Amino acid sequence: MPTQQIAVSTSTHKLGRLPRGHDKRIPMMHDLTVGIVQSVPRPAVDFTKGMPGNLGVMLNNTLGDCTCAAFYHALQVWSFNTGTPIDTEPDSDVELLYEKACGYKPAQGGEGPGGNEQKVLTYILREGAPGGTNGTQVKKIDAFVEVAVTNLDNVKRTIADCGVCYIGFNVPQYIMPPGKLPLSVWDVNPQADNTIVGGHAVVLAGYNTQGARVISWGQYYTMTWAFFEKFVDEAYAIADPEWITAKGTTPGGLSLAQLEAAMKALKS
């Protein structure tokens, strides 16, 4: 997958993912697909091909809203790949989701409290993410399922079947060197500064044998599979209704009835 240098200042790169949640009502992919024969993952996919080079930072240059920004980047991928105009929601909607799902208080200023991925996805499942003018056209998802980060085949299937895999990882200092641009390729480097400087939420929107195609801060990066295995500690497959209608693929090949049943505890 192609990589590129990111032409923005490092001072504009914020994080904001809080530690992984443990909501037992969220189903695991491997539990839902017991007895279902899974196909071998496709060798490579890239849903970012042809997308704009700059997708917008989604306020993650000043706020710790990466958990919300990542979802709005997912909307861009889904819309672009389903034959509709790319859906880039205004920053005001991203900020509103950050308020509603994470408790951000604009009047207090600062980066805000950050966000928990499970809570953000649960809010979008129940209430929908703000969309359109003044957040009046909510963007709901049908379901989301946690994917074990140790099962790379399921991570790849998630990207291929859902357009994106929504992940959270611990950020080592060396991929964000002070005073320099973030590295365009994130790989394991035992000799570098591996101090964890925070958590970050991104979407993976493609992969090949070397690694995954990442969208973060409105730009594209490459995360090697070795880096994924070392630093990623949560991953989710999201069932977007427009994607399912256009592509006919769902998380784990599950039917909508099965997914809705799996969401019953979270929706109640």
CATH topology of domain 10-267: Cathepsin B; Chain A (3.90.70)
Cα–Cα distance, 182 to 266 (Å, whole number): 37
Distance of CA 96 to the CA centre of its chain: 18
CA dihedral 124, 117, 238, 228 (to 10 degrees): 160
Q: What is the pLDDT averaged over residues 81-106?
A: 96
Report the chain's mean pLDDT, rounded to a whole number: 93
Ramachandran region of residue 16, left (φ > 0), alpha (ψ -120 to 50) or beta?
A: left
Cα–Cα distances in angstroms (integers) from residue 107 to residues 103, 104, 197, 245, in the given order: 12, 9, 26, 40
Q: Is the pLDDT of residue 104 over 90?
A: yes
Percentage of residues in the chain having pLDDT higher than 70: 96
**Confidence at residue 136, expressed as pLDDT on a 0 to 100 scale:** 80
**Confidence at residue 11, expressed as pLDDT on a 0 to 100 scale:** 62
**Confidence at residue 6, expressed as pLDDT on a 0 to 100 scale:** 30
| Residue pLDDT, tens place only, 174-230 | 999 988 889 999 999 999 999 999 999 999 999 999 999 999 999 999 999 999 999
Q: Give the residue carrying structure tokens 């930072």.
A: 57
Provide the 8-state DSSP code for 6. Answer: -
**Which carries the bigger pLDDT value, residue 230 or residue 2?**
230
| CA neighbor of 12 nearest in space, from 67, 60, 48, 53 | 60
Q: Is the pLDDT of residue 32 over 90?
A: yes
Cα–Cα distance, 26 to 236 (Å, whole number): 10
Instruction: List strand residue ranges (DSSP E) for 208-256, in order.
Output: 211-216, 219-224, 232-239
**Confidence at residue 180, expressed as pLDDT on a 0 to 100 scale:** 85
> CB of 29 within 8 A of CB of 154?
yes
Q: What is the pLDDT averaged over residues 47-57?
A: 97
Cα–Cα distance, 68 to 262 (Å, whole number): 23
Helix-, strand-, coil-residue percentages of the chain, each rounded to 5: 35, 20, 45
Q: Is the pLDDT of residue 3 over 50?
A: no
**Confidence at residue 133, expressed as pLDDT on a 0 to 100 scale:** 76
Cα–Cα distance, 222 to 118 (Å, whole number): 24
Provide the 8-state DSSP code for 239. Answer: E
Cα–Cα distances in angstroms (integers) from residue 70 to residues 108, 191, 267, in the given order: 23, 30, 22
- pTM (2 d.p.): 0.94
